[in-house]
Amino acid sequence: MKEVVLDTETTGISIKDGHRIVEIGCIELDNLVPTKNKFHCYLNPERKVSEKALEVHGYTDDFLAKQKKFKEVGEQFLDFIKDKRLIIHNAEFDLGHLNNELDILGKDKLNNEVVDTLILARDKFPGSPVSLDALCKRYRIDNSKRIHHTALIDCDLLAKVYINLIDQKEPTLNFQSQDQEIKNRNDLNVAYYKKIITPTEDEIKKHKEYLKLSLKKNYFS
């Protein structure tokens, strides 16, 4: 199954205060394995960034003023996510802002299936911190590059957190052969890996003979 891990950065929290999206990041997963397909863009929000938001992501008004507007990349974004399941941490926030941008363009709201990892984490660890940083710490995921909140870095971390949250420690890959599995393992940098080696009939026969002789020798000595 193909899914999309998604994150946004904005000029501020509330849509009611006119806040807009300044960055969108998406990473595609295929059976929980990140593919090479990514979508990323900075956006000109056509307004100033709040001081608190600037502290979070570090994108200045001057930098954002040089970027494309959402109306210029909206179709590319929709084409990327299509009808794939969306994996979002605190989905209400991101979806609210995305749907606001679509509404400004006169387009329909997103109707994709959504997995909110914030809700998953709250259900799994009631009463414990469930921010992305807290979950990275819990699962020993290196988040040292997260100096600021940036969409693609957050997506990469969230993909790893998501796999742990659903207790799928190993990607469920459909390989045609073990040789191909080894190749893909090297390409994908999977966290850990198990390979089942099946002994031949001759090896089983010799092993039984060895056990028979060994047990007899040890028992009667």
Point out the residues that are catalytic. 149
Contacts of 200 (CB under 8 A, 6+ apart): none
Exposed, middle or buried by CB within 10 Å (0-12, 13-18, 19+), for 50? middle
How far is the C-alpha of 37 from the C-alpha of 176, rounded, in Å? 22
77: nearest Cα among 37, 49, 117: 37
How far is the C-alpha of 155 from the C-alpha of 25, rounded, in Å? 7
118 phi, psi to nearest 5 deg: -65, -45
Q: How many residues in total does the chain contain?
A: 221
- Here the contacts of 33-39 (C-beta below 8 Å, separation 24 or greater) are 33/171, 33/173, 33/188, 33/190, 34/156, 34/159, 34/188, 37/80, 38/152, 39/76, 39/77, 39/80, 39/81
